Homo-oligomer: A and B are copies of this chain.
Amino acid sequence: MNHRSFKKVPTTNILNTALNLFSSKGYSETKMVEIAGGAGLSVGALYLRFKNKEDLCLALIKDQTTDFNEKVRNLPQDDPGKALDKYIALNLECSLQKRQLLSLFFKEHNLPFLHPLRKQFFSEQHRIIADILTSGIKKSVFRPLDIKETASIIFASIRGAVLLKIIFGIGDIKKMGDSLFDLVTHGIGKEAQ
């Protein structure tokens, strides 16, 4: 990459390259030179944009979650069933596209500097699910439940499904979303019919 390139490498390019590398090789195994090279700038330039590796990683996560949060914002307000369905689908879809983020985010749980972000992400998602549940119960679409607990479990189930997909590459996202929604709404019990 000649230093006479016409415009500076967009931050997005850098973050995407980093995301690809982090998620395929892991945080520790990804070298700064690789990110720089992959994004088309020099190591030096990379350090002009990000204080250090952690900083880059943090920026990456923020960037990606922002994106995700925006999509999640406009769920159907009046139909809790549909909202939940869409929320699950959205999660799985995003995981397909951003499998990397999620793997980085959830897998590498030993990068302590990520923890605050993780906490925040959980809180937000938990609140969204809880809102859907609350509204669903009010409208008698859902049975009365321990909202916080159930929200946690639903969040967990979605995360688990995503991990399954990422780690084992098992199943097709669409069907998986349906099954998960089916499980979450009806359960497996006989009386559900």
Q: What residues make up the interface of A, taking CB atoms closer than 8 Å to B?
A: 23-29, 103, 106-111, 118-119, 122, 133, 136, 140-143, 145-146, 149-150, 152-161, 163-164, 166-168, 170-171, 175-176, 179-180, 183-193
For A193, list chain B residues within 8 Å (CB).
143
Chain A contact residues: helix, strand, loop or mixed:
helix
Q: Closest CB of chain B to A182's CB: distance in Å? A: 8
Does the CB pair B192–A189 fall under 8 Å?
Answer: yes
Does the CB pair B164–A179 fall under 8 Å?
Answer: no
Q: Closest CB of chain B to A131's CB: distance in Å? A: 14
Tell me the bound Cα distance from A35 to B36 in angstroms.
28
**Can you name the residue of chain B whose Cβ is closest to the Cβ of A81?**
B189
Pairs across A and B, CB under 8 Å, 6 listed:
A28-B28, A153-B183, A158-B160, A160-B161, A183-B184, A189-B192
Q: Beyond A185-B188, A192-B192: 9 further Cβ-contacts under 8 Å?
A: A23-B110, A26-B111, A103-B109, A122-B170, A156-B180, A157-B157, A160-B163, A184-B187, A184-B188
Tell me the bound Cα distance from A108 to B110 in angstroms.
9
**Can you name the residue of chain B whose Cβ is closest to the Cβ of A132?**
B188
Does the CB pair B166–A156 fall under 8 Å?
Answer: no
Does the CB pair A183–B157 fall under 8 Å?
Answer: yes
**Can you name the residue of chain B whose Cβ is closest to the Cβ of A157?**
B157
Tell me the bound Cα distance from A170 to B159 in angstroms.
15
Tell me the bound Cα distance from A136 to B110 in angstroms.
39
Tell me the bound Cα distance from A133 to B170 in angstroms.
19
**Can you name the residue of chain B whose Cβ is closest to the Cβ of A111?**
B26
For A192, list chain B residues within 8 Å (CB).
143, 186-187, 189, 191-192
For A170, list chain B residues within 8 Å (CB).
122, 152
Tell me the bound Cα distance from A118 to B168 in angstroms.
8
Tell me the bound Cα distance from A185 to B163 in angstroms.
22
Tell me the bound Cα distance from A149 to B171 in angstroms.
8
